Amino acid sequence: MNAIEVKGLVKRYRGKAVVDHVSMTVAEGEISGFLGPNGSGKTTTIRVMCGLLHPNEGEGTVLGYNIRTEAARIKCEVGYMTQRFSFYEDLSIEENLTFVARLYGLSPAQNHVRDTLADLSLTARRKQLAGTLSGGWKQRLALAACLMHKPKLLLLDEPTAGVDPKARREFWDEIHERATLGLTVLVSTHYMDEAERCHRIHYISNGKLLTSGTVDEVVTNAGLTTYVLHGERLTEAAKQLNGMDGVDQVAPFGLTLHVVGQDQAALKASVAKTVQLTGVSASRGETNLEDVFIQLMGNRTEKAA
């Protein structure tokens, strides 16, 4: 069964489609990644799904509730974590959670707060003011507030932005543990390593959903070929490759140069010519998720232009 099933979603502002006929599904218990550049429509799509915005067109259900007619019921069953830290910085962790518990009508509020503090390992810090917390602890407080009313679906909008790698890993371990218990998660992120931890991913650009699937499916369906160049004259090789037939991307990676393209034959010929001219060596490499997303961004930019 699908926790999210929407078709043809459109949301316009001043006549412009910020979300442009988006159709997607998220299965129950799935961690689904939502990716795309800034301004691509991720946040607006999430807000439509959780009942905060009404779509101009399209239909669908979230947790079995109609997004048009049962938005209030969706809000009660969803935990939504926004991009910005949205709690009172001059209140303690415990006071903030008490406020949230009362908003949800949880009774007795103190019991729900106590259990949530223990569940998210926040008990020892419960008296600390929210404004004094580090990025990682602020993130944990926000997650605690999202989980306190026992939602069936978590919608997380770039939850780990500005958080150190250790806190990011702990956050994702927490999410995976919840998913094994049946919680469904839709998370937007810019981090490729986080995308790879999702069961499935969806990529949106300029309001349009361009691809969906597992990471392996998305990489395979992109149809890209990658070469890795080594040698002392990589800078010269990069200048040579830019603009050559079949070359869509040229990017330094440490002491190597990654060259990516969709036209395999043309790319191979251009790489061979560059090897001959510069003396660098080249070998076939594995296309990664970042290569695919750079390609998708480039294609959409060209079409928009």
Range of the domain at 240: 225-286
Asked whether residue 72 is assigned to any structural domain, the reply reads yes
Shared-domain flag, residues 58 and 140: yes
Q: What's the rounded Cα separation, in Å, for the pair 241 and 7?
A: 42
| CATH number for the domain that contains residue 262 | 3.30.70.100
Note down pLDDT in tens along the chain; length 305 residues: 899 999 999 999 998 999 999 999 999 999 999 998 888 899 999 999 999 999 999 999 999 999 999 999 999 999 999 888 889 999 999 999 999 999 999 999 999 999 999 999 999 999 999 999 998 899 999 999 999 999 999 999 988 887 888 888 989 999 999 999 999 999 998 888 899 999 999 999 999 999 999 999 999 999 999 999 999 999 999 999 999 999 999 999 999 999 999 999 999 999 999 999 999 999 999 999 999 988 888 765 444 44
Indicate the residue among 174, 193, 218 that finishes a domain.
218
CATH of the domain at 10: 3.40.50.300
Q: Would you call 146 helix, strand, or coil by DSSP?
A: helix
Residue 136 lies in a domain: yes
On whether both 155 and 121 belong to a single domain, the answer is yes
Q: How many domains does the chain contain in total?
A: 2
| 139 falls within a domain | yes
Beta bridge partners of 212: 202
- Supply the pTM of this predicted model: 0.88
Q: Would residue 8 count as lying in a domain?
A: yes
Instruction: Give CA–CA dist 170/137, Å, rounded.
Output: 11
| 171 and 77 share one domain | yes
Q: Are residues 44 and 140 in the same domain?
A: yes
- Pairing, β 153-157 against β 78-81: parallel
Residues 209 and 232 occupy one common structural domain: no
